[in-house]
Structure 1
């Protein structure tokens, strides 16, 4: 135990140092206003060159710094949460492989290496989801990896279609006769990783993984890989105008789905996972309007406050006998003030509370959405989704922090000193990241001229969301079982994406088992052959040898046959 704890502390220091180095490099690249590209050529075949390009730009370096910073804090948190784990070194190695795969995807704009990072994220996430090795984890892991394999297939098809360009560099792709099909494949790959409709069912299921894994996966690595891929490819994708419209409709539907399901959910980790799905829909909506810098700002701000929220929820789960039901816990603010404060900061930041990190992105996104040419229904869905985000976030905060205490008498709530330092360190970017990035990025975002009532609309939505959350928290709403099942199964998306296609193949396999495997094959091979050859012949020989007369006659016949043959 001491060795694994020492290893986690060393990894915490290493990742923190690497994060500081990446941050310094990103500030330098921003200062000189350049992009550094390092290229190695391995071999060439006719006109096609296989090169590996290392690209150091502001977005890549800064996002890598964020990923390494969150990883270092997750390593510190895993000392507490995985205290009784026997194979802690294996867990740490898996997390390091996960971070390495994400950095491959960030720094190397090559489709072949991108596939390695993409596959690495999918395979390691599957291993981490099934880490507890029970039936629930296995089913969640299978949904996760099978959904992500669709994105892997799309990337492979895109690689094949890019071969006629004689390179696989993401940044210098040009129009070809099949560029529309390439764009669709890239969009499908990004949608599977970022869990957009109809691929949303795997993200809440992935909560079967340990909470430190969820803090890393659902904040800055696996789910944001699809968004980062679209940011890298956007100069190529924006040439196909229909793609932006499809992305807009899908992302708004995803945000609405996650918000409604989060409002009716009682599992703490699942509510936070659904909030991640809602924020991913908001990022995709921002991308569909062509606001790359604003999308990147929100992605970084979301990574900071969501990782801190997962760590806070993990601390509560750890001290509540690993129960994730928010109705079994309450009045935590009295016993765990630092954790409660950090949780309030992350929830308020996620809700877009003024002058916290997400306020500087959400408010501008909503203002741009007013100026963007949309129909009234799309705008209404967007505003309802953001209002419901505030509702389920406040409901989560009310149940855990301010409701009556429901803890078991033998549960002792306490705060570890080293972990509290980590939470305070993570709370600083959750408060200041939006304003700091606004100083550097906001110059590239055009100004808007809105009416006074349009400017007040986001604040009205925030207040309405708080009021709705109070209604859901104070009064128990009796709903029909169909509505609850409809919400908990992600609008029956799990059934439609898995079990709907299983009926035909299960029926065929059952007929094969009944009419072929257990009938003709069993009769003509295996036990059937044994019965036919051994048992029948042995019974005939037994009947012949049991009578002395028959035995003598048989011996005479065998001797005469032998003599004739001679």
Structure 2
């Protein structure tokens, strides 16, 4: 039966590659003809508002879907080896296919109601994939992921309701109205939840409980990029409100800064890469906040290529090291897996924005644009500090994998580099090397004009060099006690290491506060004052007076009448007074 499961994964991989070639040819046609194809089917009409199913084929949707198909095909091909021996490999392959299908709905459909199909589909299938390894840790991570994303789902639903007031759900025909500022706020926060911006960042590292091929797909071109893509599609409507860019730029910069600090002190290989994704999502959101949606889309494409490669390399290393994800256990692996390590460092260099790899063409333009277009000084400082920290944790990863010490307890587990793992990596490595220049010449040759002085042009390079020195210094601290002291210092004085404690605030912290308040309510109210003033208290009150009544029985009737009159007078005084 195993050969059939392998066959399903391979067939779906070939299908994805065929779709990639199809969308590539369609992209050439759309660019040459300079057209946009729009399909619309009216399903029904209620109260003057028609419900339509629309599909748009323009250069944005076709190019993005082509990249999704390329990465999905590589991930499925890699999964056929990585998940070999899994009894549910065919189920896993179909879940990945459903995930890609849901993303395609988000990409091609410009109708807000129909987008919700793909938007909810991404949330549902991602939950199933995160809990694929059936244990309590995966279930906890899956619940955090799905509940955090449900916030965005609810906001999209609210936007649909308010758009009924305008009588149109098509994102290309949105205009300012009486409720437009509410719609803008809902769409912006929905995009932030999907792209894990502060304060919704805690679910992104938690989603690392999923199999590594799923992480490669989720963190490169599907789930986390859906929020950025939604804001790009709504951008012509959202930019009408001045506060949209200000809020988005502020949130994105703070997210980049937080993720960079956390990644420099994280020892889990997959979580370091996840935090780098969070930082790069901040770069994309920051580009939108600066007013350049094209550069945000460009960085989304280049980031998808090298981040998928980075996760596949990490998965291959983890697969051969007794599933250990600790960075300190992967030293000196270059002589055991030269191709994997080479691909890993190419992806790392692209993440740093090294000339002339894919990340350089988009990231460098965004940083130069932030200087050219002008912004708040604090925002610029945090933006360039986050850029330096990206180089720092990337160099730390390279240092530990190339020059780290031998760890003999995993050496017996190193295996050969299989063809079904190497070829998908080489395909993605080609994209990580040549994707930036190719996309620049093909799609973004008419990007914004930027003119800077010599120092400003060299500022990005200078920050990268300083970040590299810091990363080398942190990596060369071999004494574990010194590492612990540095980490304790940062936690004590900055509180920055553990994602500013967002994980505790949004998961266990909330649960503990609710349970503790329930404990107080139980013992103070239910078993405390409420028992005194009702229930058991009434019982004791009645029992006390019942026991005292026989003592009054020897008194005359006059005493009872006097007491009754006194009670009635008190009652009348309270009522009439």
Q: Structure 1 length normalisation: TM-score?
A: 0.89
- Residue by residue over 1:8-47, the C-alpha shift from the partner in whole angstroms, topping out at 9 and shown as x without a partner, is 1111111110111111111211111111001001111232
Tell me which moved more, 242-251 or 415-424. Answer: 415-424
Task: Name the SS of the counterpart of 1:392 in structure 2.
Answer: helix
Structure 2 counterpart of 1:6? 7
CA distance in 2: counterparts of 1:453 and 1:442, whole angstroms: 26
Q: In 2, distance between residues paired with 1:396 and 1:446?
A: 34
2:351 pairs with 1:380:
no
* Matches of 1:208 and 1:468, distance apart in 2: 30
Q: Distance in 1 between matches of 2:48 and 2:250?
A: 40
Equivalent residues in 2 for 1:51-200 (5 A)? 51-200=52-201
Q: Which residue of 1 aligns with 2:419?
A: 417
Select 1:506's aligned residue among 506, 511, 515: 515
In the TM superposition, what is the alpha-carbon distance from 1:2 to its structure 2 partner?
A: 1.1
Gaps of 5+ in 2: 536-577
Per-residue deviation, 1:6? 1.3
Q: Does structure 1 residue 479 correspond to structure 2 residue 486?
A: yes
| Higher mean C-alpha deviation, range 274-283 or range 331-340 | 331-340
Please give the per-residue CA displacement for 1:89-139, whole angstroms capped at 9, x wherever unaligned.
111111111111100000011111111111111111111111111111111
How far apart are the structure 2 equivalents of 1:256 and 1:359? 19
Q: Post-superposition shift, 1:357?
A: 0.7
CA separation in 1, counterparts of 2:132 and 2:85? 14
CA distance in 1, matches of 2:170, 2:487: 53
1:438 corresponds to which of 437, 440, 449: 440
In structure 2, the partner of 1:251 is 252
Deviates more, 1:41-50 or 1:435-444: 435-444
Return the alpha-carbon distance in structure 1 between the equivalents of residues 141 and 119 of structure 2.
19
Aligned residues of 1:194 and 1:225 also touching (Cα < 8 A): yes
Matches within 5 A, 1:393-404: 393-404=394-405
The SS at the match of 1:278 is helix
Give the C-alpha shift of residue 413 in structure 1.
Answer: 3.3
Number of corresponding residues:
521
Map 1:305-320 → 2, pairs under 5 A = 305-320=306-321
User: SS in structure 2 opposite 1:176?
Assistant: coil
Cα distance between partner residues in 2 of 1:45 and 1:460:
60
Report the equivalent of 1:351: 352
Distance 2:368 2:296 in 1: 14
CA separation of 1:441 and 1:62: change in aligned 2, threshold 3 A? closer
Q: CA deviation at 1:481?
A: 3.7
The reply to whether residue 492 of structure 1 matches residue 494 of structure 2 is no
Q: Please tell me whether the aligned partners of residues 123 and 145 of structure 1 are also in contact (alpha carbons under 8 angstroms).
A: yes
**Is the 2:102–2:117 Cα contact (8 Å) retained in structure 1?**
yes
Deviations 1:495-546 (A, max 9, x none): 22234443553245446777879x99xxx9xxxxxxxxxxxxxxxxxxxxxx
* Partners of 2:6 and 2:90 within 8 A in 1: no
* Compared CA separation, residues 405 and 503, structure 1 to 2 (3 A): closer
Q: Tell me, what secondary structure is at the counterpart of 2:470?
A: helix
Query: Cα offset for 1:482?
Result: 6.9
Measure, in 1, the Cα distance between the counterparts of 2:449 and 2:374. 16
Q: Within 5 Å, which residues of 2 pair with 1:222-261?
A: 222-261=223-262
Does the CA-based 8 Å contact 1:330-1:407 persist in structure 2?
Answer: no
Aligned to 1:219: 220
| Aligned partner of residue 40 in structure 1, secondary structure | strand
Query: Could you tell me how far apart the structure 1 residues matched to 2:17 and 2:211 are?
Result: 22
Which stretch of structure 1 is more off in the superposition, 152-161 or 442-451? 442-451
In 2, Cα distance between equivalents of 1:508 and 1:463:
50
Please name the residue that 2:557 is paired with.
none
Distance in 2 between the 1:496 and 1:7 partners?
A: 42
Mapped to 2, the partners of 1:335 and 1:116 lie a distance apart of 45
1:447-493 CA deviation, whole Å, 9 max, x = no partner?
Answer: 22211111111111121121111111112433254745945531111
Distance 2:520 2:369 in 1: 57
Q: CA RMSD in A?
A: 1.9
> What residue is the counterpart of 1:284 in the other structure?
285
Tell me how far apart the structure 1 counterparts of residues 474 and 520 of structure 2 sit (CA, whole Å).
Answer: 50
After superposition, the C-alpha distances for 1:309-365 in whole angstroms (9 at most, x for unaligned) are 000000000000100001011111111111111111100011000011111111111
Instruction: Name the counterpart of 2:263.
Output: 262
Could you tell which deviates more after superposition, 436-445 or 367-376? 436-445
Q: Distance in 2 between matches of 1:446 and 1:102?
A: 29
Determine the C-alpha separation between the residues in 1 that align with 2:13 and 2:431.
Answer: 18
TM-score (norm 2): 0.87
Shift, 1:423, TM fit: 1.2
More displaced, 451-460 or 504-513? 504-513
Q: Return the alpha-carbon distance in structure 1 between the equivalents of residues 94 and 522 of structure 2.
A: 42
SS in 2 for 1:85: coil
Q: Which moved more, 1:42-51 or 1:440-449?
A: 440-449
Contact 1:102–1:121 under 8 Å retained in 2:
yes
5+ residue gaps, structure 1: 525-566
Is 1:48 paired with 2:55?
A: no
Q: 1:413 to 1:488 in 2, by over 3 A?
A: farther
2:362 counterpart SS class: helix
Alpha-carbon contact 1:257-1:490 (below 8 Å) kept: yes
2 CA distance for matches of 1:441 and 1:15?
Answer: 22
- Distance change (3 Å), C-alpha of 1:512 and 1:29: same
